[in-house]
């Protein structure tokens, strides 16, 4: 009953086997390994983007921060939902890597910006001449921090607005696979076909040991990204271990298979909770992250039953939680949790 985070799960056997294979003998360092040569084509095929540039890093924070630094000036505004990971959970790394760009929080129910709320934020920024930050980049998270998703059409509406101000759009895809499975969208539909310029394509949460790919749809930006990654200290010397994970992750659609399982476990949990009296989900939960609310006293019961998850702020007399399922969650885990809830 371990639902604290998809980061708490281990690495999938296919990833570990790929790492063991990559460990054999010698390989060129710093991204010049043969696996990375193959991976360029594999990612381009996955995204149906033959020109795309692809770089691997080991954390989502640096994937996001380097991606934003490619498009934001130090005096830029980066627009993202107020609850966005880049705004709340990256310790100022996006500001650090962009040399001080300002994050502007955009409102929106259930973790989602709307054309209306983003439009308002865009309209009121950059109007003060030299005295204020200038509009820079829009960053969208899918799956959102509230566990909800954007469809490609909803992303396209946001990026169209960004483009009307001549701004590029970034997608934080720490849970990209879960978002694709939940919406039925392909990687291409979710990104460049919906107007996304650069994506942080997550692997770690969904069964890798530690790898994220930054996919850049404008190849003219590639060299600058390489320089920024090295200067930022994120060019791995034994890069083959990053490449091997990502290659295995994409092979035979492992990324989609793992996310399909994680989402199915999320749906099982959501269905079970919704059927219980006096409990509900605070946000729709189409993927693998749920925010239930229940009566006070429930945390203590679940804790003594051995369940692990994050507690969240709740209205008076109530309690709330964040539950995350992963590739390794079992039906037995979910059912044990639901039994403990019912008890
Ligand atoms: C939405 C989102 N983006 C990015 C990340 C990546 O963070 P990390 O630097 O911990 O890999 C996370 C991890 O919690 C996340 O939830």
For residue range 227-280, list pLDDT tens digits in order: 999 999 999 999 999 999 999 999 999 999 999 999 999 999 999 999 999 999
Which residue among 85, 88, 204, 208 has the greatest number of ligand 1 atoms within 8 angstroms of its CB, and so is best to mutate?
Answer: 85
Q: What is the pLDDT of residue 100?
A: 97
Atom of ligand 1 nearest to the CA of 84: 1
Distance CA 178, CA 324 (A): 12
CA angle 257, 263, 269 (to 5 degrees): 140
Distance CA 170, CA 83 (A): 16
Atom of ligand 1 nearest to the CA of 205: 13
Q: For ligand 1, is residue 159 a contact (CB within 6 Å)?
A: no
CA of 124: how far to CAs of 75, 80, 107, 116, 159, in Å?
A: 16, 14, 14, 12, 18
Once rounded to an integer, what is the mean pLDDT over residues 78-95?
A: 98
Q: For ligand 1, is residue 59 a contact (CB within 6 Å)?
A: yes
**What radius of gyration, in Å, describes the C-alpha atoms of the chain?**
20
> Which among 222, 210, 155, 198 has a CA at the least distance from the CA of 67?
198
What is the pLDDT confidence band of residue 155, given thresholds at 50, 70 and 90? very high
**Does residue 232 contact residue 66 with C-beta atoms inside 8 Å?**
yes
Q: What is the pLDDT of residue 86?
A: 98
Once rounded to an integer, what is the mean pLDDT over residues 37-49?
A: 97
Percentage of the chain modeled with pLDDT above 90: 99
Once rounded to an integer, what is the mean pLDDT over residues 117-142?
A: 97
Mean pLDDT of the chain: 97
Coil/strand/helix, residue 199 = strand
Domain residue spans of the chain: 14-253, 255-342
User: HSE (CB half, 13 Å, CA atoms) of 258?
Assistant: 29
Which residue's alpha carbon is nearest to atom 8 within ligand 1?
A: 60
Cis previous bond, 222, omega within 30: no
pTM, two decimal places: 0.97
List the structure tokens of 111: 């973790």
CATH of the domain spanning 255-342, picked from 3.90.1150.10, 1.20.1730.10, 3.30.2310.20, 2.40.160.40:
3.90.1150.10
What is the pLDDT confidence band of residue 289, given thresholds at 50, 70 and 90? very high
**Does residue 54 contact residue 66 with C-beta atoms inside 8 Å?**
no
Q: For ligand 1, is residue 204 a contact (CB within 6 Å)?
A: yes
- CATH code linked to domain 14-253: 3.40.640.10
Say if residue 69's pLDDT is above 90: yes
Q: For ligand 1, is residue 58 a contact (CB within 6 Å)?
A: no
How many A from CA of 187 to the centre of ligand 1? 19
List the structure tokens of 201: 């394509």
Q: For ligand 1, is residue 61 a contact (CB within 6 Å)?
A: yes
Dihedrals phi, psi of 335, to nearest 5 degrees? -65, -35
Percentage of the chain modeled with pLDDT above 70: 100
**Does residue 44 contact residue 197 with C-beta atoms inside 8 Å?**
no
Q: For ligand 1, is residue 174 a contact (CB within 6 Å)?
A: yes
Q: What is the pLDDT of residue 343?
A: 86
C-alpha torsion angle, residues 93, 94, 100, 102 (rounded to 10):
-130
| Alpha helices, DSSP H, located in the chain | 13-22, 34-46, 60-71, 85-88, 93-97, 115-124, 152-164, 176-183, 187-190, 222-231, 240-250, 254-274, 298-305, 331-342
Name every residue whose Cβ is closer than 8 Å to that of residue 231 and which is 6 or more positions away in sequence. Answer: none
Dihedrals phi, psi of 153, to nearest 5 degrees? -65, -40
Which residue among 8, 60, 141 has the greatest number of ligand 1 atoms within 8 angstroms of its CB, and so is best to mutate?
Answer: 60
Question: What confidence tens digit (pLDDT) does each residue in 159-211 have?
Answer: 999 999 999 999 999 999 999 999 999 999 999 999 999 999 999 999 999 99
Q: For ligand 1, is residue 84 a contact (CB within 6 Å)?
A: no
Q: What is the pLDDT of residue 223?
A: 98
């Amino acid at each position: 009953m371990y639902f604290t985070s998809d980061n708490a799960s281990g690495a999938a056997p296919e990833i570990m086997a790929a790492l063991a294979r990559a460990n054999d003998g010698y390989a060129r360092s710093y991204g010049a390994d043969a696996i990375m040569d193959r991976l360029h084509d594999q990612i381009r095929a996955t995204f149906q983007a033959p020109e795309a540039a692809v770089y691997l890093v080991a954390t989502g924070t640096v994937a996001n921060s380097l991606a934003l630094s490619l498009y934001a000036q130090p005096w830029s505004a980066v627009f993202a939902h107020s609850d966005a990971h880049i705004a709340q959970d990256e310790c100022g790394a996006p500001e650090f890597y962009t040399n001080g760009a300002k994050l502007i929080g955009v409102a929106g129910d259930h973790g989602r910006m709307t054309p209306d709320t983003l439009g308002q934020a865009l309209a009121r920024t950059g109007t003060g001449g030299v005295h204020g930050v200038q509009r820079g980049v829009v960053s969208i998270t899918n799956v959102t921090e509230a566990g909800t998703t954007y469809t490609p059409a909803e992303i396209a509406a946001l990026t169209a607005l960004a483009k009307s101000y001549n701004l590029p759009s970034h997608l934080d895809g720490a849970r990209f696979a879960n978002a694709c499975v939940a919406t039925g969208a392909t990687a291409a539909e979710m990104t460049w076909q919906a107007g996304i310029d650069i994506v942080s394509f997550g692997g770690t949460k969904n069964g890798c040991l530690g790898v994220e790919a930054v996919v850049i749809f404008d190849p003219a930006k590639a060299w600058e990204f390489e320089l920024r990654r090295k200067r930022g200290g994120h060019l791995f010397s034994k890069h083959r271990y990053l490449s091997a994970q990502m290659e295995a992750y994409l092979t035979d659609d492992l990324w989609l298979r793992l996310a399909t399982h994680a989402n199915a476990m999320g749906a099982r949990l959501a269905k079970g909770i919704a059927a219980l009296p006096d409990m509900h989900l605070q946000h729709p939960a189409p993927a693998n992250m749920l925010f239930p609310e229940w009566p006070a006293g429930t945390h203590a019961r679940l804790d003594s039953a051995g369940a692990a998850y994050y507690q969240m702020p709740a209205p008076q007399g109530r309690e709330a939680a964040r539950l995350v399922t992963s590739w390794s969650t079992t039906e037995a885990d979910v059912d044990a949790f639901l039994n403990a809830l019912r008890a």
